[in-house]
Amino acid sequence: MRALGKLAMLGAACISLTACEQVQKVAADAAGLPTDENVLFWTQDQRDKAFRQMELLTTTRTIEAGDTIRELPAGKPLPASLPAANDASGAGLSIDDYMADQRLAGLVVLQDGNIRLEEYRMDFSKDDRWTSFSVAKSLVSTLVGAAIKDGFIKSLDDPLTTYIPELKGSGYDGVTVEQLLTMTSGVQWNEDYEDENSDVARFNTTKSKDGVDPVVLYMKTLVNEAEPGTRWQYNTGETNLIGVLVAKATGKSLSEYLSEKVWQPYGMATDAVWILNDGGKEIAGCCISATTRDFALFGQFAMNGGKVGDTAIVPEGWYAKAGTKQADIGVEGRGYGYQWWTYDDGSFAGQGIFGQGIFIDPKRKLVIASNGNWPRATPDDKKVGRDAFYQAVQAYLDSESAPAE
């Protein structure tokens, strides 16, 4: 299906889409789906409807699931109310209240591969898909590991231009694959989501030319303003470059490679879809639509070191490094790994605007996947509330395992 106009996914990736037939726009209007160019200007009701059916708004490619589905056995259910972290009142944290406050459509908690909690709201179900926004970045990071394991990428120390020679002479000359993964390239970039002239607002409006990916056409215009490896700066465009790198190195689309390496062998239950840019390539920094269960399963895959049975999909120790602080982001107790947000206690997370997330705590064999629609893209109170929930679950699991007095 052709795109329904220009759709800017600010905060994850700004997606530029070409105009389509008027009948499609009329159909979207009739269904209450947004045709506005900017997700930040969609109404909450429009987002509620659109986030679960993004494939109706634009072109996508399928990430195919296989014939064998990995079972998720039921574990001991979490209580309806958890002791709230650092709360001496004893009031607890109600799961119902938490989901309502976070406006969550889906919430799945796994421990050691068992379902401890699975809840859905907003007329959403375990078989429905919801968009990931920047959680996709963490999945793309895994594809780099897979490409190294498969020999398509020789080393994280390789210059990026070895794989994307079109970037020679740009600000990315001298930047390594690892520096791209950690967003420490030193290349000048503006990720201001409310500035229509920022890089994040403009880079995906670039059109493909002479067969060159539009991401490359824009990113090659940027200049370096800091020594590579010396400064961290969040940069969605660089994740899109990682996608170009993987596709060029493997000779496969990102959807095909993700299906081959993870979705099919690990037993995801449902096909996922990935939004494409103007050049017909997956937007690596954003927008994989999958079920909440399958996002949780991906977290389980990562927590188990990227193995399917005894077969390693990524190099040994990949997640031990990818999920730990490789770059200082200036926030106490936090950091940035290989496209994963990290916590100093050893846990790590993929996060997307409007409440998407995969939280992984290897120490407790814990995975928490959530999909939702916050009132705004990145409200501080919702981020704080999400972290408080993670801490409450961790504390409850610790209390279960504590020896009886």
- Specify the DSSP element, H or E, that contains 29: helix 22-30
What backbone phi and psi angles, to 5 degrees, belong to 6? -95, 125
pLDDT tops 90 at residue 23: no
**pLDDT at residue 83, as a whole number:** 84
- Specify the DSSP element, H or E, that contains 112: none
Tell me which residue has tokens 């996508």. 60
- Specify the DSSP element, H or E, that contains 335: strand 334-336
The average pLDDT across 3-7 equals: 37
Report the range of poorest mean pLDDT among 109-118, 164-173, 204-213, 220-229: 204-213
- Specify the DSSP element, H or E, that contains 374: none
Report the range of poorest mean pLDDT among 84-88, 195-199, 291-295: 84-88
**pLDDT at residue 33, as a whole number:** 79
Global pTM value: 0.91
pLDDT tens digits for range 135-189 = 999 999 999 999 999 999 999 999 999 999 999 999 999 999 999 999 999 999 9
pLDDT tops 90 at residue 29: no
Q: DSSP letters of 49-91?
A: HHTT-GGGTS-EEEE---SPPPP--B-PPPPSEEPPTT-TT--
Domains contained in the chain, CATH given: 120-400 (3.40.710.10)
pLDDT tens digits for range 238-281 = 999 999 999 999 999 999 999 999 999 999 999 999 999 888 99
Cα distances (angstroms) measured from residue 283 to each of 50, 157, 279, 324, 393: 18, 24, 10, 25, 33
Beta-strand relationship, 334-336 and 7-9: unpaired
Q: DSSP letters of 219-278?
A: HTT--B-S-TTS-----HHHHHHHHHHHHHHHSS-HHHHHIIIIITTTT-SS-EEEEB-T
**pLDDT at residue 174, as a whole number:** 95
Band the pLDDT of 36: cuts 50, 70, 90.
low
Band the pLDDT of 7: cuts 50, 70, 90.
very low
pLDDT tops 70 at residue 405: no
**pLDDT at residue 26, as a whole number:** 55
Amino acid at residue number 27: A
The helix/strand/coil state of 289 is: strand
Nearest to 117 by CA among 328, 405, 393: 393
Fill in the DSSP letter of residue 161: G
Length of the chain: 405
For residue 38, how many other CB atoms are within 10 A of its CB? Answer: 17
Tell me which residue has tokens 């607890």. 92
pLDDT tens digits for range 320-367 = 999 999 999 999 999 999 999 999 999 999 999 999 999 999 999 999
**Contact between residue 245 and residue 284 where contact means Cβ atoms under 8 Å apart:** no
**Contact between residue 206 and residue 218 where contact means Cβ atoms under 8 Å apart:** yes
Work out the mean pLDDT of the chain and round it to a whole number.
Answer: 90
Tell me which residue has tokens 């179900």. 125
Cα distances (angstroms) measured from residue 54 to each of 60, 91, 177, 241, 289: 9, 39, 31, 23, 7
pLDDT tens digits for range 82-127 = 986 555 455 689 999 999 999 999 999 999 999 999 999 999 999 9
* Structure-token pair, residue 122: 């907003």
Nearest to 387 by CA among 365, 405, 361, 364: 361
